Amino acid sequence: MPSVQDFRDGLADESLRTAILAGLAAVPFVVFFSWEAVIDDVVVLGGSISFWALALAAVYVGYRYSDHETSSRRAGFWTGLAGSLGTVLIHVANTITTIQSLSPRWAVITIVATPFVAALGVGITALLTMLIAQFVGWVTTRLDRDRRIRDGSNVVDEHITESRWWLPVAAYAVLAPIVFGSLFWEIWTTSGGVWLLVSLVGVVGLVGLSIVALVGLFVDATAPRDEGAAWFPNALLYAGVPIGAYVLAHLTATLWTLENPPGYGMYAFLGALWLTSVVYVIHRHRYVGTLSRHSA
């Protein structure tokens, strides 16, 4: 686990000060929203940690450091180290509560194992915040309009014409109605059997393809373009509509106390992604084309 001196050195480094302070600011929220598990009648060794405050801190740090000399990844790691103080406090509190109901032998084992488990928790916390910050920094950098405008010195827009990220987007636009049409047909005809199983497997595969298509949509839409390009897609809108549809459907199902809100959210996500994929592929074909003119 990091020592006090490590944090002092980090705070002395101005490039990391904001990241560390963001992590420390999340500690009270981590402790407060995780404390219920400590005082619960049913205790679990190690405790249950509320991570949302640290996740928000990592998002902020990833955005803040996206244009800094210090990478979002390194900043997110230090945010996690600082914020892990909350996870250590909750772990220690849960351990104290737990050993009261254990036999002397298991109490000793628990006490001996506590530093190792706490260190593991610190490592996991730092890793998660680092990944979140790195992802947010990557997204922020891709959305930066200055980065998306190419230097006009290159005649051929190789970033666009040579990109293959549109392929999973096009594949999803074609396969989604086929897969869902097959599934609904099998349910409507109540034939069941092997074909229904095949349709269900197709839906599972489509969910995996949807993630790849969403990433491909964002990457292709944020590829650098000439300043005077005929088409400058709103990448945040294209990628944000499916995510927003999931959140809206999930919240609506929750408010209406429907069963399985994540299921409603996923159906809304898949449907919205299909619409945005179709629109994007059509516009891309119209303004850019699909294959490079230099392809063999």
Q: What is the pLDDT of residues 63-105, one digit of tens each?
A: 999 988 889 999 999 999 999 999 999 888 888 888 877 888 8
Residue-level pLDDT at 63: 96
Residue-level pLDDT at 192: 61
Please count the other Cβ atoms lying within 10 Å of the Cβ belonging to residue 156: 11
By mean pLDDT, which of 21-25, 57-61, 70-74, 275-279 is the weakest? 70-74
By mean pLDDT, which of 4-8, 124-128, 200-204, 220-224 is the weakest? 4-8
Retrieve residue 10's tokens.
């980090």
Phi/psi of residue 294, each to 5°? -95, 0
Please count the other Cβ atoms lying within 10 Å of the Cβ belonging to residue 293: 7
User: Do residues 44 and 37 make contact, with C-beta atoms less than 8 angstroms apart?
Assistant: yes
Tell which residue, 30, 28, 42, has the closest CA to residue 121.
30
Q: Report, as an integer, the average pLDDT of 133-153.
A: 83
User: Do residues 203 and 175 make contact, with C-beta atoms less than 8 angstroms apart?
Assistant: no
**Better pLDDT: 39 or 119:** 119
User: Do residues 139 and 97 make contact, with C-beta atoms less than 8 angstroms apart?
Assistant: no
User: Do residues 95 and 110 make contact, with C-beta atoms less than 8 angstroms apart?
Assistant: yes
Residue 283 identity: H
Q: What share of the chain is helix, strand, coil (3-state, %, to 5)?
A: 75, 0, 25
Distance CA 235, CA 95 (A): 47
The most confident of the ranges 42-51, 99-108, 167-176 is 167-176
pTM of the model: 0.79
Rounded mean pLDDT of the chain?
Answer: 85
Residue-level pLDDT at 44: 47
